[in-house]
A and B are shown apart, each in its own frame.
Chain A
Amino acid sequence: MDVITVTDLAKTYRTPFRRRRVDALKGVSFSVARGEVFGFLGPNGAGKTTTIRCLMGLCGITGGKAEILGAPVPSRAARQRMGFLPEQPYFYDYLTVSELLDLGGRLAGMTAADRRARADQLIVRVGLDHARGLALKKFSKGMLQRAGLALALINDPELVVLDEPMSGLDPIGRKEVRDLILEERDAGKTVFFSSHILSDVESLCDRVAICVGGKIRDIGRPRDLVDATTTETEVRLALADDIDAEVVAALAARGARSRRTAGELLLTVAGGVDVDAVLAAAHAAGGKVIAVTPRHETLEDLFLRRVADQAGAREVLR
């Protein structure tokens, strides 16, 4: 069963004074299966946050429809079984993290005993045990993000929606969020998150959708979306200090690009070129092979191509 189903979702805004029409979403469709970690990608202004806000009931839907856990969006039933972390979350800064979680638990209809037990467990889990008595206004950005994650999880939701959860975090904070997402997935929960950090998305997600210009451009498993054929191969060679410059030039000419550093030559050989022949030539010149690294298209390459396509289309329209 799908946990999120979005069909032809459209959202149109009107600018405040001139009432100019802005089509933020132009028929977005996708579904998220139970137990999946689903990544939602797109450049700034692509419609990621608008989609999430529509799903959370923060924005009205102009066209199409969406369902969460079988309940129509927006509805209280849909929000009852999910948790949400907004982008750059803001909380009541006079509350402590325990009080914030107590408020979230109250709104989710939890009993006092359940609220206390769950809050205690989550505070430890997100690493805020040392800051229990501290007002949120004294929290760092990373601590606030962790408090927000705890708030999203207070009602032990079946679905967790995270809008840019790694945004602004240091590498340790990012790792903690990644671990938390994986823990939720291991517990059988569904995680839907948007991110700009493509390496995180690639390593965490079962499936991804790329949203550009208010439309979904690609959807599927990361490895299915990218081209698996080798696009180029990096060959790193160690060369003798007294090697003839002409030999080096001949070797460099075999690569599409080359870079000479102290005692080394880095060759980037285009896909389709015989790498073995390059290596043989290097041996013949007295060079030593340090590394041969084939390169494939990454999610980032695909993402950048989609963004470039969109920018190109805009240029043509102009």
Chain B
Amino acid sequence: MTASLFRIWAIALNTFREAARIKVLYAIVVVVVAVNLLAIALGEMSVSQHSRVARDFGIAGISLFGSLTAIFVGIVLLYGEIQKRTIYSIISKPLARWEFVVGKYLGMVLVLTALVGAFAIAMTAVLAYQGVAVSGAVAKALVLAWFEVLTVAAIAVFFSSFSSPFLSGTFALALWAIGRVTPDLRAAIASSESTWIKWVAKGALVIVPDLHVFSISGGDVDGQHVSVNGGFVDWGYVAAAAAHGALWIAALLVLACAIFRKRDFV
């Protein structure tokens, strides 16, 4: 078991090193910093709403750009190994294929954690500029956004274990979009008169990870309105959402490993 962890860690570190060479990721960090600076500008225009705008922009930016980045790295870092044929030299070493997939995902977790950390630092700097301390609500929202990003990365890894980058990107983007609107799907089931719409919505709820549980600010949880700027969820909710994400990540990785195990590299 220790030897297995050692090999997984070797792949993870190499993946992190590989990702650190992708210039697009630095461009994304610049965009997120720019979004936070925009939040300052927009905050100045609103009356006594500076910190609200900064928090809303910051959390939304992390969720949006973090998820898009997760799809990008999830596809590029796994499919790239096959496309560039670097996988031949690696898989022929005494390494199980599942160790390779898990190692790649773990490397992506390191990259995405560093990115979410950079986004969070940018948001904290904006809030500090406005003289606002990071509240518990913001910390919880950041943890939720981080888990959303990690879940989206697992979705991308799953698709890129068997399909091309274009299809993987399309499927992952579709699942991310559907996963964000699960309350609307539930509303459709409750209100729609069409049987097939009910069935499609029910099916989507089963096969698509519920990503809405990670981006709840401005919505309702158990009938209560929650906002990062006011009353927010407790840490128990965050732990439950994290467990939900972890289960989806585990399930997606198990499926990806099973598919990857059968794959021919020709």
Binding site for B on A (CB under 8 A): 13, 50, 53, 56-60, 76-77, 79-80, 84, 86, 88-92, 94-95, 103-104, 106-109, 148, 151
Q: In the complex the two chains form, is B92's CB within 8 Å of A86's CB?
A: yes
Q: In the complex the two chains form, is A108's CB within 8 Å of B84's CB?
A: no
Q: Mark B243-266, 1 if CB is under 8 A from A, else 0.
A: 000000000000000000010111
Q: In the complex the two chains form, is B93's CB within 8 Å of A13's CB?
A: no
Minimum Cβ distance to chain A for residue B158 (Å): 20
Cα A182 to Cα B72 with chains together (Å) = 46
Q: In the complex the two chains form, is A108's CB within 8 Å of B21's CB?
A: no
Q: In the complex the two chains form, is B6's CB within 8 Å of A106's CB?
A: yes
Minimum Cβ distance to chain B for residue A95 (Å): 8
Q: In the complex the two chains form, is B262's CB within 8 Å of A107's CB?
A: no
Q: In the complex the two chains form, is B264's CB within 8 Å of A60's CB?
A: yes
Minimum Cβ distance to chain B for residue A69 (Å): 12
Cα A14 to Cα B104 with chains together (Å) = 28
B17 at the interface (CB under 8 A from A): yes
Query: Could you say which residues of chain A place their CB within 8 Å of the CB of B264?
Result: 13, 58-60
Query: Could you say which residues of chain B place their CB within 8 Å of the CB of A107?
Result: 7, 10-11, 90, 93-95
Q: In the complex the two chains form, is B94's CB within 8 Å of A109's CB?
A: yes
Q: How large is the interface on B (under 10, 10 to 19, 20 to 34, 35 or more residues)?
A: 20 to 34
Binding site for A on B (CB under 8 A): 3, 6-7, 10-11, 14, 17-18, 21, 84-86, 88-96, 262, 264-266
Interface CB pairs A-B, < 8 A, 17: A13-B264, A56-B91, A57-B92, A58-B91, A58-B264, A79-B93, A86-B89, A89-B85, A90-B86, A94-B17, A94-B21, A104-B93, A106-B6, A106-B10, A107-B90, A109-B3, A109-B7
Query: Could you say which residues of chain B place their CB within 8 Å of the CB of A90?
Result: 84-86, 88-89
User: Given that A90-B88, A106-B10 are contacting pairs, would A58 and B265 also be in contact in the complex, using a CB cutoff of 8 Å?
Assistant: yes
**7 tightest A-B CB contacts, nearest first:** A106-B10, A107-B93, A86-B88, A84-B92, A80-B94, A58-B265, A56-B92
Among A50, A89, A109, point to the contact of B88 (Cβ < 8 A).
Answer: A89
Query: Could you say which residues of chain B place their CB within 8 Å of the CB of A95?
Result: 17
Cα A107 to Cα B94 with chains together (Å) = 7
Q: In the complex the two chains form, is B266's CB within 8 Å of A59's CB?
A: yes
Cα A182 to Cα B265 with chains together (Å) = 30
User: Given that A53-B266, A60-B262, A109-B94 are contacting pairs, would A103 and B86 also be in contact in the complex, using a CB cutoff of 8 Å?
Assistant: no
B21, B88, B265: most-surrounded residue (chain A CB, <10 A): B88
Query: Could you say which residues of chain B place their CB within 8 Å of the CB of A89?
Result: 85, 88-89
Among B89, B94, B265, point to the contact of A59 (Cβ < 8 A).
Answer: B265
| 4 extra interface residue pairs, beta carbon distance < 8 Å, beyond A13-B264, A90-B88, A106-B6 | A56-B92, A58-B266, A59-B266, A109-B7
Q: In the complex the two chains form, is B10's CB within 8 Å of A103's CB?
A: yes
Cα A240 to Cα B7 with chains together (Å) = 76
Query: Could you say which residues of chain A place their CB within 8 Å of the CB of B84?
Result: 90
Minimum Cβ distance to chain B for residue A4 (Å): 14
Cα A77 to Cα B17 with chains together (Å) = 29
Cα A50 to Cα B266 with chains together (Å) = 8
User: Given that A76-B96, A94-B18, A103-B14 are contacting pairs, would A53 and B265 also be in contact in the complex, using a CB cutoff of 8 Å?
Assistant: yes
Minimum Cβ distance to chain B for residue A133 (Å): 16
